[in-house]
Structure formats: structure tokens, C-alpha cells
């Protein structure tokens, strides 16, 4: 299955995220990643959704999302034409014998050590999902105590290629 990154600009008010996520669920689409954020316009929020699918199924979900009253724009972010990033926080069990090796791994991936305790280290890493996956692969020999990933957030390179729909009044 092809992984698709959708960017949805919506009116910033209560219940919008629930409506969009339930639309995906009703259509049988599993959301692989979901990120919601403010935009430069306080009246708009950006929802970045990663789903697996292709062809007519994907077209259908794009059209259904576009039909929602709160949706102002929806478009696919092509990986070659977009900037995709994700944030990882990971707590790894560490003692005096493993700390130097963990520091070396962190240096290679440019991860920050944001906490150091007698029995653990917490790393922060921002990057493309593949970089996050590779870093976690290098940590598989160490005890991962806790892990949190934000999900992908994305912007299209260059000038916006979408038109915002007019705001629908309730």
C-alpha cells in the first residue's frame, strides 16, 4: 500500500477533528499518523493525516473530506515536493557501561540528550520518518523504557497550490 500525506486546512473550532477522524473511520481508512496545529491565521488549523491507500479509495476520501463544511482546503503533499518532519522522545535504560555508546549513536543522528538520570537517558530527535526509524533501529540493543512520536507534520515546498474555500457560516 502507498502511504499518503494529506494536509487539511479547517476552521479552528471544537469538534472538527472528531468529524474528520470519524469520516476516515466510516470509510474504512486507518489513520497511520495524525497531527494538528495552529496556522498563521488564528481562524484556521492544519491537520496532517497519513493514510495508506491508493486510486479510487483515496480520491473518495479526499472528496468526502473536502465536502465537510469546516474544510477550507485539502490536498496531498507529495514527498518529493514537501517537507515532512516528526519528533521523537525516547527514554532508554542506561548505566555507566552503555552511556558512551548511546552518546555516539545520538551524535550520528544529531539527537539531543535532554535528560540524564542514574538509570536512563532521554533523547529528542526531529527528522524525516525514515531517520526516526533508523535511529530506533540502532537503539534496539538497548532497553527502550518509553517512547513517544508526534506523527508527521508537513508543508508543501514553494508557493501554496490550493485555494481556500469561503468560510461557511453556521
Whether residue 106 has pLDDT greater than 90: yes
Q: What are 70's three cell numbers?
A: 469546516
More confident residue, 27 or 82: 82
Instruction: Give, in degrees to the nearest 5, the angle at Cα 133 between 129 and 139.
Output: 145
pLDDT digits (tens, 9 = 90+) for 136-167: 999 999 999 999 999 899 998 988 777 777 76
Q: What are 117's three cell numbers?
A: 538520570
Residue 56 falls within a domain, yes or no?
Answer: yes
- Name beta bridge partners: 91: 122, 146
Which pLDDT does position 2 carry in this prediction? Answer: 80
Q: How many domains does the chain have?
A: 2
Residue 51 falls within a domain, yes or no?
Answer: yes
Cα distance between residue 72 and residue 9, in whole Å: 5
Which pLDDT does position 168 carry in this prediction? Answer: 59
Domain that holds residue 101: 83-149
Which pLDDT does position 110 carry in this prediction? Answer: 98
Residue 144 falls within a domain, yes or no?
Answer: yes
| pTM confidence score | 0.83
Whether residue 99 has pLDDT greater than 70: yes
| 120 and 64 co-located in one domain | no
Cα distance between residue 71 and residue 123, in whole Å: 36
Amino acid at each position: 500500500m502507498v502511504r499518503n500525506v494529506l494536509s487539511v486546512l479547517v476552521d479552528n473550532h471544537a469538534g472538527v477533528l472528531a468529524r474528520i477522524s470519524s469520516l476516515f473511520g466510516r470509510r474504512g481508512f486507518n489513520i497511520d499518523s495524525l497531527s494538528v496545529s495552529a496556522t498563521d491565521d488564528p481562524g484556521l488549523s492544519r491537520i496532517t493525516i497519513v493514510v495508506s491507500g491508493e486510486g479510487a479509495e483515496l480520491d473518495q476520501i479526499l472528496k468526502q473530506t473536502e465536502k465537510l463544511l469546516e474544510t477550507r482546503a485539502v490536498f496531498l503533499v507529495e514527498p518529493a515536493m514537501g517537507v515532512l518532519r516528526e519528533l521523537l522522545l525516547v527514554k532508554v535504560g542506561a548505566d555507566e557501561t552503555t552511556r558512551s555508546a548511546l552518546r555516539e549513536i545520538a551524535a550520528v543522528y544529531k539527537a539531543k540528550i535532554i535528560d540524564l538520570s542514574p538509570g536512563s537517558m532521554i533523547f529528542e530527535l526531529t527528522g524525516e520518518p525514515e531517520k526516526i526509524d533508523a535511529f530506533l533501529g540502532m537503539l534496539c540493543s538497548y532497553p527502550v523504557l518509553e517512547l513517544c512520536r508526534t506523527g508527521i507534520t508537513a508543508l508543501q515546498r514553494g508557493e501554496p497550490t490550493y485555494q481556500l474555500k469561503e468560510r461557511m457560516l453556521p
